Amino acid sequence: MKHIIDKIIKHTIIIYLILICVVFMLITSCSASYHVKKAVQKGFKIEAITDTISVPYIDSVLIVDKDSVVWHKSIQFKDTVIYLKTFTLPDTRQEIRQKEKTKRTEIKQENKTERTIVKNTTDIKQDSIKQTAKTERVITRIENRKCNRWNFFLIGMIVGITITIIFNNRKRF
């Protein structure tokens, strides 16, 4: 019996501690106005846009004369004002960096196009001759690299085979 009572007391103590922690966090947490103030400081803007719409409606009035009854119908308009709250979020650091990078690349591209326009046709011919020589050198380098790769592969295979033969012969003795 005492054992069951001890368990119940432990459980109630744990529940009370959890409740105290939750109440403490609610009391010490920051409010929504705090976050709005911080957002406004960082560039958050709330703008109220108003729009006026005229809504037509039919108004009917009963007119009673001496011996006749007439319904008078008229179309009238009510103006309603609609408030739309729009907000603009400030750009994040990544968005700012991306915008600056695109600006820089656009400026570089404009400079390149201006340079090519300013150059004479002889400069362009000399550049094309230099470019063809450069591509020929690159092609020869690539061909030489291919040969070197096969040489290293073959040397590695020969070394591997000789090592296996040596170890197999050692076991026989």
Task: Kindly state the average pLDDT of the residues 83-110.
Answer: 84
pLDDT 10s digits, 103-133: 999 988 888 877 766 665 556 666 677 778 7
Please determine, for residue 166, whether its predicted confidence score (pLDDT) is greater than 80. yes
- Domain segments of the chain as ranges: 45-90, 95-170
CB 47 within 8 A of CB 87: yes
More confident residue, 62 or 15: 15
pTM of the model: 0.28
Amino acid identity for residue 53 in this structure: I
Q: At residue 97, does pLDDT exceed 80?
A: yes
How far apart are the C-alpha atoms of 104 and 108, rounded to whole Å?
6
pLDDT in tens, 31-87: 777 887 888 888 777 777 777 778 888 888 888 877 778 887 888 888 777 777 777
Average pLDDT for residues 82-111, to the nearest whole number? 84
pLDDT tens per residue, range 136-145? 888 777 766 6
pLDDT of 120: 59
- Is pLDDT at 90 greater than 80 in this prediction? no
How far from each other are the two terminal CA atoms of the chain, in whole angstroms? 82
* Residue 149 in this model has a pLDDT that exceeds 70: no
Strand partners, 46: 87
Per-residue model confidence (pLDDT) at position 100: 92
Strand partners, 81: 52
